[in-house]
Amino acid sequence: MSAQDFLVELGTEELPPKALKSLGDAFLAGIEKGLKSAGLGYAKARVFAAPRRLAVLVEQLASQQPDRSINLDGPPVQAAFDAEGNPTQAALGFAKKCGVDLEQIDRSGPKLKFSRTIPGQPTVSLLPGIVESSLNELPIPKRMRWAARREEFVRPSQWLVMLFGDEVVDCEILAQRAGRESRGHRFHNPEKVRISQPSTYLEDLRGAHVLADFAERRALIEKRVNELAAAEQGTAIIPPALLDEVTALVEWPVPLVCSFEERFLAVPQEALISTMQDNQKYFCLLDAHGKLLPRFITVANLESRDPAQVIAGNEKVVRPRLTDAEFFFNQDKKQPLESFNQRLQNVVFQAQLGSVYDKAQRVSQLAAFVAERIGGNAGHAARAGLLCKCDLATEMVGEFPEMQGIAGYYYALHDGEPEDVALALNEQYMPRGAGAELPSTLTGAAVAIADKLDTLVGIFGIGMLPTGSKDPYALRRAALGVLRILIEKQLDLDIPAAIAFAVQQYGAKVKAAGLAEQVQEFIFDRLRARYEDEGIDVAVYQAVRAVNPGSPLDFDQRVQAVQAFRRLPEAEALAAANKRVSNLLGKVEGEIPANVEAHYFETPTEFSLNAAIQQADQAIQPLAAARQYTEALARLAALREPVDGFFEAVLVNAENPQVRANRYALLAKLRGLFLGVADISVLG
């Protein structure tokens, strides 16, 4: 079967830059889906996306759809005809389903059958429907109409190229008649561009100052920006999302270096970078020390005869933005950071929980409580907590919301606050996402933990629990943030005590009954997914959860120990033995004696197990106290032999009640040794 290349290009007004890449990928996916559904084979397909066009090139597309066979089974012959041989409703219904008369149905077998071969259609007749379906399925939240037409698309259509081999596919889509004429660059080559065949598409447009390949434009911009930055003795900040957006804005990228007045460098560089990136789509430059240079790179969409004019225009546009940032910064510095708390008394944190200032006061007290227990400075933590929300009321954060925390850091330094207090005002929001940076200071860690625990307790305390689809206060992220800070920074904090302190601070604003337990449960539940992501079996998590350690760091140390224990050859047998012991003890009626009495032993194996338990107890007590859980479990692994010997030789439920109770006491001692680390019966 012969095959030819196929090209479709839809020309439009400028497409939304943030959506261009996803629109292109979806267009390609839709075309491939349609081809596969039609049974049309091809070698490969690729997408091209530029500001005014979406295109797909399919190489070696089969020119004819293969023939297809339809084989349908109907009802049994006995059910299809009555005793007189007249067709029943079952037979008539089957014929109707097949779209034929009953005489065309095969009744030679035990069931009615219908077979038909459907000849394949020419590919060229199927392509318009495939393209139209793909365009209709694009992820476009809101479609537009233009002029008096009824057609709708993300932007008004301007032209349509559809070629199968050398021939134009005769059709009309989105009010455009298919042809072979594309358009060049809006300014460099505004005239029509003839596409001779699909394989020459890229080069035909390149000659008209259009780089249609998104990936090629992206790589070119990144390479040229880095080269220009190096020439300025700097490094360019190139966020992937910004690079994608700039790539989607230009057909013929020409990066140019621009500058701004050095006086603006007195403003926090984060604000300058934010406004240049978000509002102007510029690439900022940093020096070798990470400080902002008074330079930026813009990407023009044309090759100007006078680049200086383009540069001057961009410098003129950015100046008011930087002036605004400078003005807000200077205005805010006219008063101490702490004074902004007055404004926050009138800003609601949550209607039932009070103002943002109320929250800051609670965070201050809780941060001091936390800092004392993780080895930090309680005074600094309390001060940072009191200031932690102040910058929300500043002019800078009002204009640049992404500066929250960062602005507070600069204003605190300006006021002469200690470095760790200033840093904590930004670090309170850390980690800002999965895998994101953690606080670098103990003061920052204390405030971050306090802020998150205060939110968890307050929102849970008024019954606004997160659901599967809604978590408006980001409580899951808050819980994970607390866990990450404590575990990854190796900080030991008793979570139940911290939660109890937080509950106490809210007083009558929350329903305290059962609240602490509910919040604690929610926080430790988040560890399950964390360990699953690390490849740790859920049974290991459950084994530690069963003994309910209150410190996330302690919890993690136990999990790592149980994970190591599972790899020991004795682990499986000891887990099974612990499960057996757990089941036996669970059925005991009445109290189990606290002490084991040797004079009730009837077999040597009881003496052996008792001696082994006493030796193990002495050995692991200091290990457990030092949280050397891996070493403790490795030492307990030596109990396998006396445990196996005990169960082989001894009937636990002896007839003599004293002997039976003594054996229960012995097993309780054994189980207690393991429960000092985890409930390994869960592993059995």
pLDDT one-digit tens code per residue, 525-558 = 999 988 998 899 899 999 999 999 999 999 999 9
For residues 595 and 669, what is the distance between their CA atoms, to the nearest angstrom?
9
Q: Are 452 and 502 in contact (CB under 8 A)?
A: no
CB atoms under 10 Å from CB of 586, counted, come to 7
Q: Calculate the alpha carbon distances from 668 to 154, 419, 428, 432, 622 in Å.
A: 71, 53, 46, 46, 20
CA 272 to chain centre: 28
For residues 446 and 423, what is the distance between their CA atoms, to the nearest angstrom?
12
- Residue 92 pLDDT more than 90? no
- Residue 107 pLDDT more than 90? no
Q: Are 4 and 62 in contact (CB under 8 A)?
A: no
CB atoms under 10 Å from CB of 567, counted, come to 7
In this structure, what DSSP letter does residue 87 have? B
pLDDT of residue 115: 83
Q: How many helices (H) and strands (E) are present in the chain, helices listed first?
A: 26, 17
pLDDT of residue 117: 77
Q: Which long-range contacts (CB under 8 A, 24 or more apart) does 403-409 make?
A: 403/268, 403/270, 403/271, 403/274, 404/429, 405/429, 406/268, 406/270, 406/271, 407/268, 407/271, 407/332, 408/337
List of residues 6+ apart from 391 with CB closer than 8 A = 337, 340, 397, 403, 404, 405, 407, 408, 411, 425
pLDDT of residue 1: 59
How do residues 311-334 score in pLDDT, each as one tens digit?
999 999 999 999 999 999 999 999
Q: Where are the beta strands (DSSP E) in 216-260?
A: 235-236, 254-259
Q: Are 186 and 158 in contact (CB under 8 A)?
A: no
- Tell the burial category of 470 from Cβ atoms under 10 Å away from its Cβ (0-12, 13-18, 19+): exposed
Work out the average pLDDT over 467-478: 89
Work out the average pLDDT over 606-610: 88
- Of the pLDDT bands very low, low, confident and very high (cuts 50, 70, 90), residue 394 is very high
Tokens of 433: 């996402």
Helix (H) or strand (E) holding 209: none
Share of the chain above pLDDT 70, in %: 100
| Average pLDDT over the chain, rounded to an integer | 92
Q: Domains, the chain, ranges and CATH?
A: 3-65+122-206 (3.30.70.260), 69-118 (no CATH), 229-332 (no CATH), 338-535 (1.10.3210), 557-683 (1.10.730.10)
Query: Helices in 462-537 by DSSP H: which ranges?
Result: 475-488, 495-506, 515-533
Share of the chain above pLDDT 90, in %: 71
- The amino acid that residue 494 corresponds to is D
- Tell the burial category of 413 from Cβ atoms under 10 Å away from its Cβ (0-12, 13-18, 19+): middle
Tokens of 548: 């309910």
Name the nearest CA neighbour of 361 among 155, 502, 223: 502
How do residues 109-137 score in pLDDT, each as one tens digit?
888 888 887 788 899 999 999 999 999 99
For residues 426 and 408, what is the distance between their CA atoms, to the nearest angstrom?
7
Q: Are 524 and 516 in contact (CB under 8 A)?
A: no
**Residue found under tokens 């140390």:** 557
Work out the average pLDDT over 418-443: 95
Work out the average pLDDT over 604-617: 89
- Of the pLDDT bands very low, low, confident and very high (cuts 50, 70, 90), residue 595 is confident
239 phi and psi, to 5 degrees?
A: -65, 135
How do residues 650-663 score in pLDDT, each as one tens digit?
888 888 888 888 88
| Lowest-confidence region among 97-101, 255-259, 272-276 | 97-101
